[in-house]
Amino acid sequence: MAVDCSALSSVTLCPTFWAGLGAGLSVLLSAIGAGLGIGISGPAIAGAGVERPEVMLKTFIATILAEALAIYGLVVGLLSVFDITPALTIEKGVRIFAAGLTMGAAALGAGFGIGAAGSAMASATAEKPEIFSRAVISLILAEALAIYALVTGLLLLFTGAT
Interface positions with other proteins (CB under 8 A): 39-41, 43-48, 50-52, 115-116, 119-120, 122-124, 126-128
Closest by CA position to 37, among listed 104, 119, 101:
119
Do residues 67 and 39 touch, judged by C-beta distance below 8 A? no
Q: Which is nearer to other proteins, 48 or 107 (CB)?
A: 48
Do residues 11 and 23 touch, judged by C-beta distance below 8 A? no
Residue 60 beta carbon to other proteins: minimum distance, rounded to whole angstroms: 13
Q: Which is nearer to other proteins, 76 or 124 (CB)?
A: 124
Q: What are phi and psi of 161, to 5 degrees?
A: -70, 150
Distance in angstroms (rounded) separating the CA atoms of residues 112 and 116: 6
Residue 138 beta carbon to other proteins: minimum distance, rounded to whole angstroms: 13
Closest by CA position to 119, among listed 138, 147, 144, 141:
138
Residue 141 beta carbon to other proteins: minimum distance, rounded to whole angstroms: 18
Q: Which is nearer to other proteins, 127 or 151 (CB)?
A: 127
Taking every pair of C-alpha atoms in the chain, what is the biggest distance, in angstroms?
Answer: 65
Residue 29 beta carbon to other proteins: minimum distance, rounded to whole angstroms: 19
Q: Which is nearer to other proteins, 42 or 100 (CB)?
A: 42
